[in-house]
A and B are shown apart, each in its own frame.
Chain A
Amino acid sequence: MRRQGSLFFQTLGDTGGTILVALLLAAAVLVPILNGLPASSPFHVSNYLVSLFGKYLCFALLALSVDLIWGFAGILSLGHGAFFALGGYAMGMHLMREIGTRGVYGNPVLPDFMVFLNWKELPWYWYGFDSFPFAALMAVLMPGALAFVFGWFAFRSRVTGVYLSIITQALTFALMLAFFRNNFGFGGNNGLTDFKDILGYSLQAPTTRVTLFAASALALALGYVLCRFLVSSRLGSVLIAVRDAESRTRFLGYRVEHYKLFAFVVSAMLAGIAGALYVPQVGIINPREFAPANSIEIVIWVAVGGRGTLWGAALGAVLVNYGKTYFTGALPEMWLYVLGALFIGVTLFLPKGVGGSAREWIGKLMARATKAKLALAPQPGVTE
């Protein structure tokens, strides 16, 4: 069926995905240019929008990672915020070390909060984070390792369905409580903040912001291509089989737990990358990112966008978060009604999410168009 040659087009596969990747690539190139235009120009993209959409793109990548396992392997993780936050903390630790002597107490090695808690030396788990490549590696490896250990036990024990969902929630809840502890060495409730620069560039400079935006756009595009490649491959077919009939797949001789574990680890790593890109853009990482409610929200972005469409998940993340930004400003006392009603409305009226329904409509329209075309064309089969 599949030809090796056109793998790239295959991986894009669907119209939605192609549009998404095209948009992201365009944004990664155009936004820095438009941002550089003088503010009076009608085409100027403000710093505010750059930082806002930079954040949304990170959320979109996170949603994509959840859709990979929920939409294609049937694993509903209610603790994916944990992987996002771990990636964020890894980056945050690096940015903390970058502050150097510019902290309020001027200690060249210890971050302010450690000076403050009377710590005399850097704990061992902070070693190495002064190097950016190490931190970047950790931002991917730490979530990956946690997902591997957790998934190894959970999938081998055949923990499935709501049981799996709830223990992922227990995982993120336990991590939240741990990171809240001041003795834990990650800044407690305040988390890591007061960052100055990344790779020597000031985080407050518009050029740095727009670069981070472009990096997020590229990461999302690459993440999308990777996910699409995975789900279109043979592995993807097995995952879908697991999603739809796990026992049957197992009886057919597949090592179900290996497939699930692989997808889970990849997904956690993507979430970690999203977290690492998110932290320098918002300037703070704190234990609230581990809150179970945050993880539930991620699942909701995916559901709103359309589970199992990948590009829909990204769309859902941007839509819901844009809605939140807009309504918390425009209707500060009513926005929860609007958002709540939106969630209920989507569930009842767009069961496949915005993305899934859009695809259906487009499909129907195309079918109608084709039918019309067919009706006009001479029909050899009928004229006999």
Chain B
Amino acid sequence: MVHAMVTQALGSLARALLLCAALFSGTAYAQAIEAKSIEDLVAILGAGDFTAKIDATQALATTGDPRLVPILQALLDGNLYARKSDHLVVIGKEQGGTLTATDPLAEKVIGQAPVADFERARVNNRLRTVLQTALGALQLAHPDPSRRKASADALFKTPSVEMIEPLRLAIEHEHNGTARRALVRALAATELQFSEKIDAKRAAVVTLAALADPDVRSYLNGRINSIPETANAEQQELKAAMTAAVVQIERRIASWQTFGNVLQGISLGSVLLLAAIGLAITFGVMGVINMAHGEMVMLGAYTTYVVQLAFRQYLPGGLDYALLVAVPAAFAVSGLVGVAIERGIIRWLYGRPLETLLATWGLSLMLQQAVRSFFGPTNMQVTSPSWMSGAVELTGGVVVTYNRIWIAVFALLVFGLLIFIQRRTQFGLQMRAVTQNRRMARSMGIRSGWVDALTFGLGSGIAGMAGVALSQIDNVSPNLGQGYIVDSFMVVVFGGVGNLWGTLVGAFGLGIINKFLEPYAGAVLGKILVLVAIVLFIQWRPRGLFALKGRAVEA
């Protein structure tokens, strides 16, 4: 049954593409088919110019030959090569300068040769679109539902009249919900554009209007634009229906957008939280005006780079999990540097908090330059693991990227861990004791120097862990930390110095406010407004959101 469907689909596709191609490239295309065998056309894919390749792709697709899927896919992925000496076209896999060549039609390995002997077949965006459509048509019955969805999406973007029947058939046999929705969408678009019956077109508009989907809005707008003012009454009526559908979709999208803003605000807030949380300890709890905080974050990001490098070298298969190793590694690196800083410099400066500003500023200059000398001044490449790439598309065009979801989860985990350490462990107890009353704590037998060093190390280590997360969304460069230092201080002060919960609320509050302002005021003005709001807020609450009470305040 499925086989029959595929055959039928391919048959229709052949006709469809014939039609499309005839429309677009006319005679040149017709000649291409008549004159050339499959082998000749594949040769064009390897070496021709873009127009020739597009004609060849369309001509190849009309043959309906299932062997073509890997070839077209290889061309799309940049794995199709032509040998320089004799223009032999192969599917290639490159590794370390050597190309493993596969015969494109026979699908068997021919042999290995230096990659320099081959020229990669080039693709541009126009060819890419044609390839995606052709592959979409060829893969409507692919066993992988995500591929079927991708095919349906490709057909939605460039509908063609001959695909109506194959799409109907495909919908009948589709059991996967996501793929089915995509197919229904593609069919509605195709019918709206090509169906001869006005009822079918009306029905298609109704189907499309029910979706809160920006792509559909885009498509409908395109259709509306294509109907001229002079069209007949039937057309005008259809145009009015589509316009109403667009309004309906837009209204639904707008209400989703508010929700989207909240999500984006939470995402920005979690980035701010991560950046600030280490500072909430070194500055908030210990009172060190720690200008080198940003550099601790930067060290964490560079540690991620080094860990990924090591994985690539020794354990390429595990690269996806490198980040899991990078988190403790970054904590260790930044934490140890932090302990060293505390023992070497900060401990001489207790009771002189303003002078820690001077020393840590000097330190921050040196650390930046050290990284620059050691790694070079350019950006380091940190790749995203597959589980952090891509996005979830909620309805209404709200897109939440996986990396931001993970960063939000990570931020909350780190925060929870910190609260746990502070509230529930022996070390946390000692930490609180020393910061509240050093002399009393010492009299109780707490080694205050040791606790100071570990506290500073903890704050720095957490900053390092933040660096792992920030490496996923920002540059890994010597300037990484500088970009976050001002914001971090704002968050800690806004929330109330010395209060971790204040930092949490402050970060999310500022993040969400910023994201609600940005669409109206623009990125720059939005940020200015947030800063002004902070200044005014501090007038109202001079000790931040959650002020510490008691004698410690005056100190």
Chain A interface residues (CB < 8 Å from chain B): 76, 150, 153-154, 157-160, 162-163, 165-167, 169-171, 173-174, 177-178, 180-181, 247, 292-293, 296, 299-300, 303-304, 333-334, 336-337, 339-344, 346-348, 351
State whether B538 touches A351 (Cβ < 8 A): no
How far apart are the CA atoms of A337 and B370 in the complex, in Å? 8
How far apart are the CA atoms of A292 and B294 in the complex, in Å? 14
Contacts of A336 in B (CB 8 A): 365-366, 368-369
Pick the contact of A178: B356, B490, B528 (CB < 8 A). Answer: B528
State whether A173 touches B362 (Cβ < 8 A): no
What would 11 A/B residue contacts be, using CB atoms closer than 8 Å?
A163-B493, A163-B544, A166-B493, A170-B535, A247-B554, A303-B354, A342-B362, A344-B359, A344-B362, A347-B355, A347-B359
Is the C-beta of B203 less than 8 angstroms from some C-beta in chain A? no
State whether B355 touches A76 (Cβ < 8 A): no
State whether B486 touches A157 (Cβ < 8 A): no
- A238 CB to closest chain B CB (Å) equals 19
- Stretch touching chain A among B344-352, B383-391, B438-446: B344-352
State whether A303 touches B358 (Cβ < 8 A): yes
How far apart are the CA atoms of A333 and B544 in the complex, in Å? 41
How far apart are the CA atoms of A376 and B528 in the complex, in Å? 69
Is the C-beta of B489 less than 8 angstroms from some C-beta in chain A? yes
Contacts of B527 in A (CB 8 A): 174, 177
- B176 CB to closest chain A CB (Å) equals 48
Q: Give 9 closest A-B pairs by Cβ, nearest first.
A: A343-B362, A340-B366, A336-B369, A340-B365, A174-B531, A340-B362, A347-B359, A166-B493, A157-B539
Beyond A166-B538, A337-B369, 10 extra complex contacts between A and B, CB < 8 Å: A76-B354, A166-B490, A170-B490, A170-B531, A170-B534, A174-B527, A174-B532, A300-B358, A336-B365, A348-B348
Nearest chain-A residue to B525 (Cβ)? A181
State whether B539 touches A300 (Cβ < 8 A): no
Nearest chain-A residue to B355 (Cβ)? A347
Chain B interface residues (CB < 8 Å from chain A): 283, 289, 291, 345, 348-349, 352, 354-359, 361-366, 368-370, 373, 482, 486, 489-490, 493, 497, 524-525, 527-528, 531-532, 534-535, 538-540, 542-544, 554
How far apart are the CA atoms of A340 and B482 in the complex, in Å? 16
State whether A177 touches B524 (Cβ < 8 A): yes
State whether A160 touches B542 (Cβ < 8 A): yes
CB within 8 Å for A340 and B497 given contacts A170-B535, A171-B535, A303-B358: no
- B481 CB to closest chain A CB (Å) equals 12
Contacts of B528 in A (CB 8 A): 174, 177-178
Contacts of B486 in A (CB 8 A): 169, 173, 292
State whether A153 touches B539 (Cβ < 8 A): yes
How far apart are the CA atoms of A58 and B183 in the complex, in Å? 71
Contacts of B359 in A (CB 8 A): 343-344, 347-348
Contacts of B291 in A (CB 8 A): 296
State whether B538 touches A333 (Cβ < 8 A): no
State whether A163 touches B365 (Cβ < 8 A): no
- B340 CB to closest chain A CB (Å) equals 13
Nearest chain-A residue to B494 (Cβ)? A166
How far apart are the CA atoms of A247 and B555 in the complex, in Å? 11
How far apart are the CA atoms of A337 and B368 in the complex, in Å? 9
How far apart are the CA atoms of A52 and B289 in the complex, in Å? 32
- B287 CB to closest chain A CB (Å) equals 8
Contacts of A76 in B (CB 8 A): 354
Pick the contact of B482: A166, A181, A293 (CB < 8 A). Answer: A293
Pick the contact of A351: B355, B364, B531 (CB < 8 A). Answer: B355
Contacts of B355 in A (CB 8 A): 303, 347, 351
Pick the contact of B358: A154, A166, A178, A346 (CB < 8 A). Answer: A346
Contacts of B497 in A (CB 8 A): 162-163
Nearest chain-B residue to A160 (Cβ)? B542
Pick the contact of A340: B363, B538, B542, B544 (CB < 8 A). Answer: B363
Contacts of B489 in A (CB 8 A): 166, 169
Nearest chain-A residue to B368 (Cβ)? A336
CB within 8 Å for A163 and B352 given contacts A170-B535, A300-B361, A343-B362: no
How far apart are the CA atoms of A351 and B356 in the complex, in Å? 11
Nearest chain-A residue to B486 (Cβ)? A292
Pick the contact of A181: B289, B524, B544 (CB < 8 A). Answer: B524
Contacts of B365 in A (CB 8 A): 336-337, 339-340, 343
- B21 CB to closest chain A CB (Å) equals 47
Pick the contact of B289: A157, A162, A337 (CB < 8 A). Answer: A162
Contacts of B366 in A (CB 8 A): 336-337, 340-341, 344
- B532 CB to closest chain A CB (Å) equals 6
Nearest chain-A residue to B527 (Cβ)? A177
How far apart are the CA atoms of A154 and B538 in the complex, in Å? 8
State whether A180 touches B524 (Cβ < 8 A): yes
State whether B542 touches A347 (Cβ < 8 A): no
How far apart are the CA atoms of A59 and B89 in the complex, in Å? 69
Determine which residue in B368, B490, B493 has the highest number of CB atoms from chain A within 10 A of its CB, and name it.
Answer: B493
- B173 CB to closest chain A CB (Å) equals 57
How far apart are the CA atoms of A351 and B544 in the complex, in Å? 31
CB within 8 Å for A167 and B352 given contacts A162-B289, A341-B366, A343-B362: no
- B480 CB to closest chain A CB (Å) equals 15
How far apart are the CA atoms of A181 and B362 in the complex, in Å? 31
Pick the contact of B539: A154, A166, A293, A303 (CB < 8 A). Answer: A154
How far apart are the CA atoms of A296 and B361 in the complex, in Å? 9
State whether A344 touches B345 (Cβ < 8 A): yes
How far apart are the CA atoms of A247 and B364 in the complex, in Å? 35
State whether B535 touches A347 (Cβ < 8 A): no
How far apart are the CA atoms of A342 and B365 in the complex, in Å? 11
- B170 CB to closest chain A CB (Å) equals 52
- A272 CB to closest chain B CB (Å) equals 20
Nearest chain-B residue to A158 (Cβ)? B542
Contacts of A346 in B (CB 8 A): 358
How far apart are the CA atoms of A259 and B538 in the complex, in Å? 21
Contacts of A342 in B (CB 8 A): 362
How far apart are the CA atoms of A177 and B369 in the complex, in Å? 26
State whether B539 touches A162 (Cβ < 8 A): no
How far apart are the CA atoms of A227 and B288 in the complex, in Å? 30
Contacts of B345 in A (CB 8 A): 344, 347-348
State whether B369 touches A340 (Cβ < 8 A): yes
Contacts of B354 in A (CB 8 A): 76, 303
State whether A344 touches B542 (Cβ < 8 A): no
Pick the contact of B361: A173, A181, A343, A351 (CB < 8 A). Answer: A343
Contacts of B357 in A (CB 8 A): 296, 299-300, 303
Determine which residue in B291, B355, B356, B532 has the highest number of CB atoms from chain A within 10 A of its CB, and name it.
Answer: B355
How far apart are the CA atoms of A292 and B486 in the complex, in Å? 8
How far apart are the CA atoms of A333 and B370 in the complex, in Å? 10
How far apart are the CA atoms of A292 and B289 in the complex, in Å? 14
Pick the contact of B538: A167, A178, A303, A304 (CB < 8 A). Answer: A167
Pick the contact of A341: B289, B362, B364, B525 (CB < 8 A). Answer: B362
State whether B535 touches A167 (Cβ < 8 A): yes
How far apart are the CA atoms of A174 and B210 in the complex, in Å? 44
Contacts of A158 in B (CB 8 A): 542
How far apart are the CA atoms of A194 and B386 in the complex, in Å? 51
How far apart are the CA atoms of A64 and B493 in the complex, in Å? 28
Contacts of A150 in B (CB 8 A): 535
Nearest chain-B residue to A334 (Cβ)? B369
Contacts of A163 in B (CB 8 A): 493, 497, 538, 542-544
Contacts of B543 in A (CB 8 A): 163
Contacts of A340 in B (CB 8 A): 362-366, 369
How far apart are the CA atoms of A106 and B189 in the complex, in Å? 57
Pick the contact of B362: A159, A166, A334, A347 (CB < 8 A). Answer: A347
How far apart are the CA atoms of A334 and B373 in the complex, in Å? 9
- A260 CB to closest chain B CB (Å) equals 14
- B331 CB to closest chain A CB (Å) equals 25
Nearest chain-A residue to B531 (Cβ)? A174
